[in-house]
Amino acid sequence: MANKIVVGTQWGDEGKGKITNMLARTADVVVRFGGGNNAGHTVIVGEDKFELHLIPSGILYPEKQNIIANGVVVDPEALVQEMKMLEEKGVSLDNLYISEIAHVIMPYHRILDKAEERRKGAGKIGTTGKGIGPAYIDKVARRGIRFIDTLDKDRFYKKLSETLEYQNLVLEKVYGEKPLKLTDIINEYQTYINILRDKIVNTSILLEEAYKNKKDIFFEGAQGTLLDVDYGTYPFVTSSNPTAGGVCTGSGFGPTRIDDVIGVAKAYLTRVGEGPFPTELTDEIGEYLREKGHEYGVTTGRPRRCGWFDLPIIKHACRVNGITEIALTKLDVLTGIDEIKVCTAYEYRGELLEEFPLESETLSECKPVYISINGWQEDIIGITNYEELPVEVQNYIELIEDSTGVRVSIIGTGPEREEAIIR
Ligand code: GDP
Ligand code: IMO
Ligand code: MG
């Protein structure tokens, strides 16, 4: 029995969906513990491509339990749409469960998210506009709506009318937006809730049962370490804790029961949205990575900013997540680049910084210190045996192992589920 966390080590989009889906073959339960439909996880199985935003990627195996736990903020409209998309592709949703205490994204959250970005202007975060931040704000401010509140019509009416009074004040007086009507929201949301009703349960009890029955539980991270509201590039972060610690509060599963933390790292870096990015490439190599790696957001379609691999970032991620093994993805995208650079430290105002700085203005002034590595020309797509990798690729992997002290146990050699090396 092994319970594992899959966590992003960078700014998201490291390939967590593919790695979770691949490893989940041996799991019994797959759990999303944080974030919302700001996430976009791509899983390619044969000819089929699945883009999942809220539903754990274990859903593609019919026999596994899939849980959207309490740490997730759920837009029921988006969830119902995603369920429909999966059903149309023949995927069964019988084993999907949603925490009764997960917070619900309401229409005003989406409006407030976009309105606040407009107000910030040039200083915007570059959010996905899905209402994630405002939903977490309401959760912490103790005025959120949870699924359990929506199950009883009278309770839903009462709770929503209380919070809507506040929300409409903010919409009108702060942002000059139109107020929303209580009955419109109730009517719309009743439709979604009726579809979801049977799936809304106390998911921490499901996890307890699975644990007692010695089942393997996988926690599928969304976002990444540098988007963590505590350990990311604040304020250019999301509003939750996508780091490993978020699993316990986000699912009601205690830390003593977790065996392994797999950190997913892309072989180069990408970032969507605003904020500092020391190794960003704005030249033709950045363009090459974006096109070859198809680096366009799954959720918003925005082009992802691309840059060289950064060792201070992976070391930071290993530390704050307690990573026990690394899954290195998209090495195949680096094929064909003659000279590959890796950032080993930063230069900040004449000083050498070996550790990742936690303050964004400092980080934006950091100049990366690089070492150069010989690239490789051989196509590595689909290789499944480590020994068959060109020596330059092995050197790249060993550099990461040496500087983190963590073994790279999984290596992505292509987008498909089977295209990987397990060492
Ligand atoms: P996630 O949000 O962490 O699940 O990652 P995304 O799905 O947003 O982005 C990762 C992209 O890289 C997806 O299009 C995957 O299909 C693709 N991908 C994952 N691993 C590999 C790999 O090893 N090689 C290549 N070429 N593509 C990969
Ligand atoms: P996955 O799970 C990449 C980024 C947004 C923005 C910031 C805040 O696919 O790796 P938010 O809407 O969360 O308030 O936006 O966080 N962001 C992601 N970037 N991958 C993600 O998820 C992301 N989820 C949020 O682009 O910069
Ligand atoms: Mg993604």
* Rounded mean pLDDT, 105-123: 98
How far is the C-alpha of 418 from the C-alpha of 262, rounded, in Å? 18
Q: Does the active-site annotation cover 41? A: yes
Q: Which residues pair with 50 in a beta bridge?
A: 43
User: For the whole model, what pTM was predicted?
Assistant: 0.97
Domain that residue 392 falls in: 266-422
Residue 103 has pLDDT above 80, yes or no: yes
Residue 300 has pLDDT above 90, yes or no: no
* Ligand 2 midpoint to CA 40 (Å): 9
The pair of three-digit structure tokens given for residue 172, joined into one six-digit string: 């009108």
* Rounded mean pLDDT, 68-88: 98
- Give the model's pLDDT for residue 279: 98
- Give the model's pLDDT for residue 417: 87
Number of neighbouring beta carbons within 10 Å of residue 20:
28
CA distances from 325 to 50, 56, 285, 407 (A): 26, 21, 29, 5
- Give the model's pLDDT for residue 358: 95
271 with 412, same domain: the answer is yes
**Cα torsion for 243, 32, 27, 411, to the nearest 10°?**
-50
Which of 143, 165, 196 terminates a domain? The answer is 196
Q: What's the pLDDT tens digit per position in 398-407?
A: 999 999 999 9
Residue 277 has pLDDT above 80, yes or no: yes
375 with 315, same domain: the answer is yes
Q: For ligand 3, a single-atom ion, which residues have Cβ within 5 Å?
A: 13, 40, 298
Instruction: Please report, for the domain that includes residue 129, its CATH number.
Output: 1.10.300.10
Cβ-in-10-Å burial (0-12, 13-18, 19+) of 194 comes to: exposed
394 with 308, same domain: the answer is yes
- Give the model's pLDDT for residue 387: 97
Which of 147, 174, 196 terminates a domain? The answer is 196
* Ligand 1 midpoint to CA 420 (Å): 12
* Rounded mean pLDDT, 208-213: 98
- Give the model's pLDDT for residue 389: 97
Q: What's the pLDDT tens digit per position in 141-184?
A: 999 999 999 999 999 999 999 999 999 999 999 999 999 999 99
- Give the model's pLDDT for residue 394: 97
The CA R_g of the chain, rounded to the nearest whole Å, is: 21
CA distances from 86 to 55, 105, 272, 317, 414 (A): 10, 21, 26, 33, 23
- Give the model's pLDDT for residue 342: 98
> Of the bound ligands, which one is closest to the alpha carbon of residue 39?
2
Nearest CA, atom 23, ligand 1: 412
Instruction: Please report, for the domain that includes residue 205, its CATH number.
Output: 3.40.440.10
- Give the model's pLDDT for residue 298: 86
Chain-wide mean pLDDT for the chain?
A: 97
* Ligand 1 midpoint to CA 18 (Å): 6
**Cα torsion for 119, 125, 127, 132, to the nearest 10°?**
-80
Residue 1 has pLDDT above 80, yes or no: no
285 with 393, same domain: the answer is yes
* Rounded mean pLDDT, 112-128: 97
When divided into structural domains, the chain yields a total of 3
Confidence of residue 412 (pLDDT cuts 50, 70, 90): very high
Confidence of residue 290 (pLDDT cuts 50, 70, 90): very high
Q: What's the pLDDT tens digit per position in 325-343?
A: 999 999 999 999 999 999 9
363 with 295, same domain: the answer is yes
Instruction: Please report, for the domain that includes residue 303, its CATH number.
Output: 3.90.170.10
> Which of 28, 41, 103, 138 is labelled catalytic?
41
How far is the C-alpha of 365 from the C-alpha of 360, rounded, in Å? 9
| Residue count of the chain | 423
CA distances from 42 to 30, 80, 310 (A): 16, 18, 24
- Give pairs for 130-133: CB < 8 Å, separation 24+: 130/36, 130/37, 130/38, 130/75, 130/78, 130/105, 130/299, 131/36, 131/73, 131/75, 131/105, 131/106, 132/35, 132/36, 132/37, 132/38, 132/73, 132/105, 132/238, 132/239, 132/240, 133/238, 133/239
110 with 217, same domain: the answer is no
* Rounded mean pLDDT, 119-130: 97
11 with 108, same domain: the answer is no
114 with 256, same domain: the answer is no
- Which is the closest atom of ligand 1 to the Cα of 294? 14
213 with 358, same domain: the answer is no
Interior CA angle at 402 toward 398 and 406, to 5°? 95
- Which is the closest atom of ligand 1 to the Cα of 8? 3
Nearest CA, atom 2, ligand 1: 13
205 with 342, same domain: the answer is no
82 with 205, same domain: the answer is yes
Which of 234, 261, 288 terminates a domain? The answer is 261
272 with 352, same domain: the answer is yes
How far is the C-alpha of 309 from the C-alpha of 356, rounded, in Å? 13
* Residue among 52, 128, 228, 243 to mutate when testing ligand 2 (max atoms within 8 A of CB): 128
